[in-house]
Amino acid sequence: GENVEQHPSTLSVQEGDSAVIKCTYSDSASNYFPWYKQELGKGPQLIIDIRSNVGEKKDQRIAVTLNKTAKHFSLHITETQPEDSAVYFCAARPAISGGYQKVTFGTGTKLQVIP
């Protein structure tokens, strides 16, 4: 099955700096890569996703890049703000060809933005 590794497990940055979280996956059949943000005491919430036919996707201060050959993808947060402090999960899922396709999550990165 799929295995998703995520690094680092914790990350501290100064407010205004950039943060980068990296993930690798093992199953070449995976073609959908979402990122979830989990605030303290809450459930994870989708913040951005990318499909394997796209190399980069941006949404305001966040961006995700995908390198299919190397099987790794990254989350980039620019101009970090205290409200970006949370746990971030990457995930991978194979192509939907009918039926339920299980999503495999990384182990999470706790991001702390220091004011």
Partner 1 sequence: NAGVTQTPKFQVLKTGQSMTLQCAQDMNHEYMSWYRQDPGMGLRLIHYSVGAGITDQGEVPNGYNVSRSTTEDFPLRLLSAAPSQTSVYFCASSYRDGGNTIYFGEGSWLTVV
For residue 48, give every residue at least 6 positions away whose Cβ sits within 8 Å of its Cβ, in sequence order, or none.
34, 35, 57, 59, 62, 63, 64, 75
| Amino acid occupying residue 70 | A
Nearer to partner 1, 75 or 106 (CB): 106
Binding flag, residue 48, partner 1 (CB under 8 A): no
Is the distance from CB of 1 to CB of 51 less than 8 angstroms? no
Residue from 14, 97, 100, 115 in contact with partner 1 (CB under 8 A):
100
Residue from 12, 28, 67, 107 in contact with partner 1 (CB under 8 A):
107
Q: With CA atoms as reference, report the closest residue to 20 among 84, 70, 75.
A: 75
Reported as type and span, the H/E element at residue 61 is: none
Q: Which stretch binds partner 1 (CB under 8 A): 12-20, 63-71, 72-80, 92-100?
A: 92-100
d(CA 92, CA 4) in angstroms, rounded, equals 7
Residue from 14, 53, 97, 102 in contact with partner 1 (CB under 8 A):
102
Q: Which stretch binds partner 1 (CB under 8 A): 12-20, 35-43, 62-70, 74-82?
A: 35-43
Q: With CA atoms as reference, report the closest residue to 86 among 62, 65, 67.
A: 62
Binding flag, residue 44, partner 1 (CB under 8 A): yes
Using CB under 8 A, list all residues that contact partner 1.
4, 6, 9, 32, 34, 36, 41-46, 49, 89, 93, 99-100, 102-103, 105-108
